[in-house]
Amino acid sequence: MSRSPKYLTTPLYYLNAKPHIGHAYCSILVDAVARYERLFGGETYFLTGTDEHGQKVDKAAQARGMEPQAHVDELHLAFKDLWPTLNIAYDDFIRTTEPRHKQVVTGFLQKLWDDGEIYADDYEGWYSTTAERFFTEDELVDGRCPDSGGEVTHIKERNYFFKMSKYEDALRQHITSTPDFIRPPHRANEVLGFLDKGLGDLCISRPKERLSWGIPLPFDAEYVTYVWFDALSNYVSALGWSSTGESTKAFDDWWPGANHFIGKDILTTHCVYWTTMLLALGIPLPKHIIATGWWLSDDRKMSKSIGNVVDPLGMKDVYGPDVLRYFLLRDMVIGLDSNFSEEALVRRNNSDLANDLGNLARRAAGLVTRYFDGLVPEPGAPTDDELAVMNAAKGLAANLMGWVDKLQIHQAIEETMQFVRQLNKYMTDTAPFKTIKTDPQAAARSLYTVVEGLRHAATVLGPVMPVKMAELVAGLGVEPVERLDDLTWGGVAPGTKLGLETALFPRRDLPVSAEAEATPPKKKKKAKAAAKAAPVAADGNIDFDHFMKVELVAADVIEAEKVEGSDKLLKLQVSLGDETRQVVSGIAEHYSAESMVGKQVVLVKNLAPRKIFKIVSQGMIIAADTADGGLALMAPTPRVPAGTRIH
């Protein structure tokens, strides 16, 4: 099935400070989605840029003793030049100070003014410079900005207003009738909740005497445009939208496939301000607005004032851009928050990249060099062992699009790494280093299979680590495949010269702080306890984002047996639809193994695997104690497809 063209956008980054890891994540995510999309045969247009007007940027310029224009001319390069070094390939970079953008904003304002959608009135409210938004008294939290926690200033002045309230019903209607318009769904509920409080009109001007750094209103030279009205328009100004109504080819080609990726803090501005602006202008709404969670540092949002900002430049310079990309994409479930730590990044690098993937490539290349003069050997006829690997490779390629379309990028990566682990196991089980003496054909078969398997893994991981995976593919002596459809088993021709001399992913030492913590056991315990306690507030409650991190899914029991030597434990194989898990569960006193087969249960899916009775258990089954000392397993009623997420 052909894919419709996708217009993928990041937010425009404020030029009040240098880029940090949260910005880098947004841009890396969109870049990876664009690369996946192209691998699926789709077409993409990727827009990013910088938000250069408004009070926040003006203040930053003042703090540096610079004119705002000189300040943004310099600082936008910190973003524009950073992205290529993180292997981010955007198609266009828009600055809100560019004439092509200002012209469209002016056209929008004039059109809305002419259509009677804008009026003048007195305004009184609280302004947050950090969020660049007005708030009502009721919206403040402890007298501070509810979005950023920053200070607010009371302001009373005459301003211009956009009749946003007129569009409340139309917007509500669109959100409720288009279930995946705002993703993930709990963010749509948040927007509906906001609308239910009643939508007011939007103040879209700032008097020049208070703020002159902005686009002048075309109908009143004493005012400049509110920075959000200005910045949001970039998504169409970059496509050359014209207020006179003639559409451009770029607009017609890309706008129907618009996907705005944003952070959860700018949900209202995108899902309410931008959408109502579009409704008033008669422009169709974007296809999707996707809100991601935040990267936290010590369980708090990174911010300059707290001083817990992680510098992406530093991480990239030490570990390399693709390792950073891998970590950010693997360790964030889209829509939820995640904690950033250098230690976690190093552990991921060492386990997944250096050990599972890099080592496998090195071992295979080493053996091919030693036994076959560095030339990929003939595979011969596959046995069941090879067929299992070939089927897994096929399954991986077939399922990839589903995970990416569901925005489960972490899952797409994890499934790929499970395939890599399977290849490692296959290599160990078939032991070409042993069979070379007794059955050279078997050794040839297994080395061919590992090399071809690596080509599959590298292709599928290409969107996540474009440069490193291109290196791996080149090391396998083959041309990269551009489209997943062309990835069929047997792409590596026997006789190809392997060139994998250097380690793709060197192992790294844990950062000093993590190592120091690992030494004194008492300290470690304390730190562990603190880390455990962190998500729980003093009143025992956990916040919504932490709860949403727990992945509960419906699972079908396909096999069950008693664990030898234990009265309490059953070992179960459960299906999650596209994945089978092994779970050890303490239910044997209440449920026999036979009675479990065919049952549907609820599984905690993202619990770290642990060994129970030396058996790895990948998840936990949920049950309730009954009044008579029994146990009642939980299950969705009616039955749902295995793998369905339970909220």
Chain positions contacting ligand MSP, by CB under 6 A: 11-14, 22-23, 25-26, 51, 231-232, 234, 262-263, 265-266, 294-295, 301-302
Our CB check for ligand MSP shows the closer of 75 and 262 to be 262
Output the CA torsion sign for 219, 223, 229, 233: positive
Work out whether the CA dihedral 150, 154, 160, 161 comes out positive or negative. positive
Strand, coil or helix: what is 379? coil
Q: Using CB atoms, what's the residue nearest to ligand MSP?
A: 263
Query: Dihedral sign, CA of 521, 523, 526, 530?
Result: negative
Q: How far is the CB of 300 from ligand MSP (least distance, A)?
A: 9
- Report in angstroms how near the CB of residue 453 gets to ligand MSP at its nearest: 34
Q: Which is nearer to ligand MSP, 38 or 260 (CB)?
A: 260
**Rounded to whole angstroms, how far apart are CA atoms 14 and 175?**
28
The secondary structure of residue 162, as a DSSP letter, is: E
Q: Residue 573: which residues within 8 A CB-CB, separation 6 or more?
A: 557, 558, 559, 560, 580, 581, 582, 583
Q: Cβ closer to ligand MSP: 23 or 468?
A: 23
* Closer by beta carbon to ligand MSP, 52 or else 356: 52
38 to each of 69, 385, 395, 465, how far by Cα in Å?
A: 37, 32, 19, 15
Residue 469 structure tokens: 């995976």
Minimum Å gap between C-beta 292 and ligand MSP is 6
Q: Enumerate residues 6+ apart whose C-beta is below 8 A from 579.
A: 415, 643
CA–CA distance, 557 with 416 (Å, rounded to integer) = 24
Classify residue 274 by its DSSP letter. I
Closer Cβ to ligand MSP, 263 or 466, answer by number:
263
Residue closer to ligand MSP, measured from CB, 269 or 449:
269
Min dist. Cβ of residue 263 to ligand MSP (A): 2
Strand partners for 160? 120
CB 107 within 8 A of CB 230: no
For ligand MSP, give the closer residue by CB, 161 or 340: 340
Six-digit token string for 249: 């080819």
Strands, DSSP E only, in 219-339?
220-225, 258-263, 288-292, 295-297, 300-301, 338-339
The backbone torsions φ and ψ at residue 487, rounded to the nearest 5 degrees and listed phi first, read -90, 90
Distance from C-alpha of 65 to C-alpha of 214, rounded to nearest angstrom: 18
Token code pair at residue 509 = 């030492």
* Nearest-approach distance from CB 419 to ligand MSP, in angstroms: 29
Nearest approach, Cβ of 529 to ligand MSP (angstroms)? 26
Beta carbon of residue 411, minimum distance to ligand MSP (angstroms, whole number):
19
State the nearest-atom distance from the C-beta of 152 to ligand MSP, in Å.
17
Q: Whole-number minimum distance, CB 218 to ligand MSP, in Å? A: 21
Nearer residue to ligand MSP within complex by CB, 338 or 350: 338
Distance of closest approach, residue 312 Cβ to ligand MSP, in angstroms: 11
Neighbours of 295 (CB within 10 A): 23
Facing residues of 203 across strands? 161
- Output the smallest distance, CB 646 to ligand MSP, in A: 26
Cα atoms in the Cβ-side hemisphere of radius 13 Å centred on 153:
9
Token pair belonging to 637? 């009623």
Query: Both tokens of residue 481?
Result: 């495949």
Q: CB of residue 13 vs ligand MSP: minimum separation in angstroms?
A: 4
Q: Which two tokens stand for residue 547?
A: 């709860």
Residue in the block written with tokens 């069929």:
488
Residue whose CB is less far from ligand MSP, 74 or 196: 74
Nearer to ligand MSP, 223 or 294 (CB): 294
Q: Which residues 6+ apart lie within 8 Å of 640 measured at CB?
A: 554, 600
Least distance from C-beta 283 to ligand MSP, angstroms? 15
**Residue closer to ligand MSP, measured from CB, 302 or 460:** 302
| Residue placing its CB nearer to ligand MSP in the complex, 231 or 602 | 231
Q: Which helix (H) or strand (E) holds 95?
A: strand 92-95
Give the nearer residue to ligand MSP in terms of CB position, either 230 or 415.
230
